[in-house]
Structure 1
Amino acid sequence: MAGDIIYADIKTDGAFSLGNSSSLQKSDTHHHGIFLKVGCAIIIILLVTVIVLSILVSFNSSTAHKSCPSKDWRLHGGKCYWVAEANKSWHESKNDCAMKNSHLMVIRDFIDMSFLWKHLNTGVFYWIGLTIPPGGESWTWVDNNPFDSHLFSIEEKWRTRSMKCAQVSQIR
């Protein structure tokens, strides 16, 4: 038996034949090719979209605040400021700004503060958009945001029952 050779016939279904195996391999390769093409197309579309959007954002941000409504306005830090020369009350100044589709100055950061120090005359008082609303006890900006005491301090000596608004001046 040690030298005997045994032969056997193995019968299988058609699903496992070698001829069918090559068609499955071709089908997989075809699907991989389609997925690769679709994936590349999606990446290219996303890349073009990002490029177009960044160009639009760049264009809008560069032209949005290039100029102010008129030469009376001053551009600083991407914002337009208008400095009134007339002496008016806080409420008159607030209404005057509203007629110009604007509001009294709201100081959010040191860029806004730098406008004050750069463009305003020393010793002259200017109204800003800071007030204590009726019935309120804390300072609030005209855009309803709370006052941030880290930017500057408020002297309370000018506050009376009738005057709950703020003005600013530069002292040297």
Structure 2
Amino acid sequence: MGEITASGLLFEEIGEAHLAEVLDIYNYYVLNTTVSFHTEPQSLPEMRQSVLSGDPRFKSYAIMQEGEMLGYVLIARHKNKQAYDTSGEISIYLKPGCGGRGLGGHALRFIEERAAELRFHVLVATVCADNEPSRRLFVKHGYEQSALFKEIGSKFGRWLDIVSYQKIIGQLQ
């Protein structure tokens, strides 16, 4: 089972039973927004590889409330080189219509706690510069802008910038 937080949300580690709904949530953003830089919908095997890494440090969690999945949050590998092993890339995807309810903040606090337990030192979040709600979320929770890449992607016939935020959560081990 998962962990119920003070907010009444249940964070369950993502398994096979969650994959179809995770795929639906993610593909909504692929097809309708610049939140994802994928331009083609992902398949179930691609999503499985993305959220079920097999590495015990890189975890994905369904955000549940009263049996309904409201979104998911994950820690992924930042870069595939050993010196980066204490850094994690975090992402939060909420089901369409679930924004503006404080879920992102609860998910962020939850994943930061997990990351600290797993001895991560730095968390990084990279978002499309157009994604003001995500940008505000990370700044509100103590993340500092660490990079801006201009016109690094193209989607829906226009150039897109990305912004990276980081937060130091642990000490050198």
Is TM > 0.5 for Structure 1 vs Structure 2? no
Q: Could you say which structure has the higher helix fraction?
A: 1
Larger RCO (CA within 8 A; separation ≥ 6): 2
TM range (shorter): 0.3 to 0.5
* Structure with the greater alpha carbon radius of gyration: 1
TM-score between both structures, scaled by the size of structure 2: 0.32
Q: Could you say which structure has the higher strand fraction?
A: 2
TM-score between both structures, scaled by the size of structure 1: 0.32
